[in-house]
């Protein structure tokens, strides 16, 4: 029987009687692959110029090239010029972490993570500036799941800069309405939310605040506290966390400071 490769990390599994004289090389490579999965770190600016396709080449322990998808942690950097996609091959069970250290400038570009060939149901959108743990069970193109947001990031929204801004579940939005002459801003809640999704919006204005220039929260087709109307934040230093419950109540207010 010829040697084969494991499903998840593509370790080389040497058959009895095979690879005479190569056991040391193959074993060392396998150990390096296990090391990548346990503590491997990859920093890449690939998203600045295009999408990032993670690799799981059979037998490879090259965490910076042909085994990028075997690393435990992947930090993406650089300035985005468009929305980008990070893809993991289908067929492998992987638990991994992605840290978003990219710069979005004034554009509302997004970063999504998925298996190759995924549909919308299997696409995870990363909150801006966050560090997230993800999991794919290898059963199909839509098996990518968000396990946890390990560290929340923030996104600044300002008048005549990047408003209206469509929030991503898990976002912490810092509203700035005082600088540059001031002006109202709009934050739109995520489309197609699921129960437990959260978005926090707070007044971070250096000058003035939401009392003089309101922040309107767009409901994006879902109710807010059971009402089919948008919500207006109109108090200085106001901070509200919106939590999605169901199609009847929609987004509920978890916390507010006034």
Residue 227 reports pLDDT greater than 70: yes
pLDDT level of residue 20 (50, 70, 90 thresholds) = confident
Give the pLDDT of residue 180: 59
Residue 73 burial by Cβ neighbours in a 10 Å radius (0-12, 13-18, 19+): middle
Range of the domain at 196: 155-257
Mean pLDDT for 26-34 is 93
Check whether residue 144 and residue 241 sit in a common domain: no
Does residue 164 sit in the same domain as residue 137?
Answer: no
Domain boundary among 116, 151, 186: 151
Same domain, 159 and 140: no
Residue 245's domain is classified under what CATH number? 2.60.120.640
Whether residue 72 is predicted with pLDDT greater than 80 in this model: the reply is yes
Of 87, 89, 98, 108, nearest to 173 by C-alpha is 108
DSSP helix/strand/coil, 38: helix
Give yes or no: residues 19 and 122 share one domain: yes
- Counting residues of the chain whose pLDDT is more than 90, the rounded percentage is 83
CA–CA dist 212, 178 (Å, integer) = 9
Using a pLDDT cut of 70, give the percent of the chain over it: 97
What is the chain's mean pLDDT, rounded?
Answer: 93
Same-domain check for residues 120 and 178: no
pLDDT at residue 106 in the model: 80
Q: For residues 13 and 141, state if they share a domain.
A: yes
Q: Which residue has the higher pLDDT, 29 or 21?
A: 29
Whether residue 112 sits in one domain with residue 41: yes
The 3-class secondary structure across 199-242, one letter per residue, is EEEEECCCCCCCCCCCEEEECCCCCECCECCCEEECCCCCEEEE
At residue 179, the pLDDT reads 67
Band (44; pLDDT cuts 50, 70, 90): very high
Q: How many structural domains comprise the chain? A: 2
pLDDT of residue 96: 98
What pLDDT is stored for residue 93 in this prediction? 94
98, 209: one domain: no
Q: Cβ distance 253 to 202 under 8 Å? A: no
Greater pLDDT, 49 or 20 = 49
The residue from 151, 184, 212 where one domain ends is: 151
- Choose the final residue of a domain: 131, 151, 171: 151
Rounded to a whole number, what is the largest CA-CA distance in the chain?
Answer: 79
| Burial classification of residue 189, based on how many CB atoms lie within 10 Å of its CB (0-12 exposed, 13-18 middle, 19 or more buried) | buried
Does residue 1 surpass a pLDDT of 60?
no
Tens digit of each residue's pLDDT (9 = 90 or more) over 163-197: 999 999 999 999 999 865 679 999 999 999 999 99
Look at residue 144 and give its three-state secondary structure: strand
């Amino acid at each position: 029987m010829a040697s084969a490769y494991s499903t998840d990390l593509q370790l080389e599994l040497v058959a009895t009687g095979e690879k005479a004289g190569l056991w040391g090389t193959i074993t060392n490579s396998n150990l390096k692959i296990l090391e990548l999965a346990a503590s491997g770190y990859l920093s890449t600016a690939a998203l600045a110029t295009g999408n990032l396709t993670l690799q799981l080449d059979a037998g490879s322990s090259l965490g910076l090239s042909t085994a990028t998808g075997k690393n435990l942690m992947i930090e993406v950097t650089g300035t985005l010029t468009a929305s980008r996609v990070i893809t993991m091959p289908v067929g492998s069970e992987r638990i991994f972490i992605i840290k978003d250290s990219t710069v979005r400038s004034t554009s509302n570009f997004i970063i999504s993570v998925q298996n190759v060939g995924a549909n919308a149901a299997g696409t995870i959108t990363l909150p801006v500036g966050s560090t997230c743990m993800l999991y794919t069970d290898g059963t199909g193109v839509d098996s990518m799941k968000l396990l946890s947001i390990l560290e929340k990031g923030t996104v600044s929204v300002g008048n005549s800069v990047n408003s209206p801004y469509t929030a991503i579940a898990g976002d912490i939005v810092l509203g700035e309405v005082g600088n540059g002459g001031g002006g109202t801003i709009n934050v739109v809640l995520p489309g197609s939310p699921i129960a437990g999704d959260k978005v926090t919006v707070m007044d971070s204005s250096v000058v003035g605040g939401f009392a003089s220039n309101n922040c309107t929260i767009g409901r994006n087709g879902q109710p807010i506290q059971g009402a089919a109307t948008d919500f207006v934040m109109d108090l200085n230093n106001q901070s509200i966390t919106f939590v999605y419950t169901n199609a009847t109540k929609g987004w509920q207010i978890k916390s507010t400071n006034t």
